[in-house]
Structure 1
Amino acid sequence: MSKALRIVLLIPVIAALFFCGCATTDQSAKQESAAAPPPAVEEPEFISHKVYAGETMASIAKWYTGKESKWREIAEDNPGLNPKALKQGDLVKVRVSLATAHTAQPSHSTRPRKAAKKKAARPGTVEEDSSAPSEDEVFGPK
Structure 2
Amino acid sequence: MKTGFQKIWLAGLLGFTLLWIIAGCAQMRDTSERPRKGPSYYEHKVKWTGESLSIIARWYTGSFENWKVLAKINPGMDPNKIQMGAKVRIPEDLMKTRKPMPENFVASLSPEKKKALPATSEPKPSKPKKAKIPPPKEIKAKPPVKPAYYEHKVRWSGESLSIIAKWYTGSFDNWKTLAKANPKINPSRIYTGQKIRIPGNLLKTREPMPKSFLADAGKGKREEPPPEPAPQQPPPDEEEPRLFGPKPYPKK
Q: Name the count of aligned residue pairs.
A: 85
**Alignment-derived partner of residue 36 in structure 1:** 139
**Alignment-derived partner of residue 185 in structure 2:** 81
**Alignment-derived partner of residue 213 in structure 2:** 109
Structure 1 position 40, deviation (Å): 3.4
| Greater radius of gyration (CA) | 2
Aligned ranges 1:63-142 → 2 under 5 Å: 63-111=167-215
Q: Which runs of 5+ in 2 are unaligned?
A: 1-134, 221-252
- 2:145 corresponds to which letter in structure 1? E
Measure the CA separation in 1 of the matches of 2:160 and 2:187.
Answer: 7
Alignment root-mean-square deviation, CA:
2.5
> Taking structure 2 as the reference length, what is the TM-score of the superposition?
0.31
Q: Percent identity?
A: 26
Structure with bigger RCO (C-alpha 8 Å, 6+ apart): 1
Structure 1 position 78, deviation (Å): 0.6
Measure the CA separation in 2 of the matches of 1:100 and 1:62.
Answer: 10
> Taking structure 1 as the reference length, what is the TM-score of the superposition?
0.52
- 1:46 corresponds to which letter in structure 2? Y
| Match status 1:55 vs 2:159 | yes
Q: Provide Cα deviations, 1:79-121, integer angstroms capped at 9, x if missing partner.
A: 11101111122111101111111211112211489xxxxxxxx
- 1:100 corresponds to which letter in structure 2? K
Measure the CA separation in 2 of the matches of 1:40 and 1:88.
Answer: 34
Measure the CA separation in 1 of the matches of 2:206 and 2:188.
Answer: 23
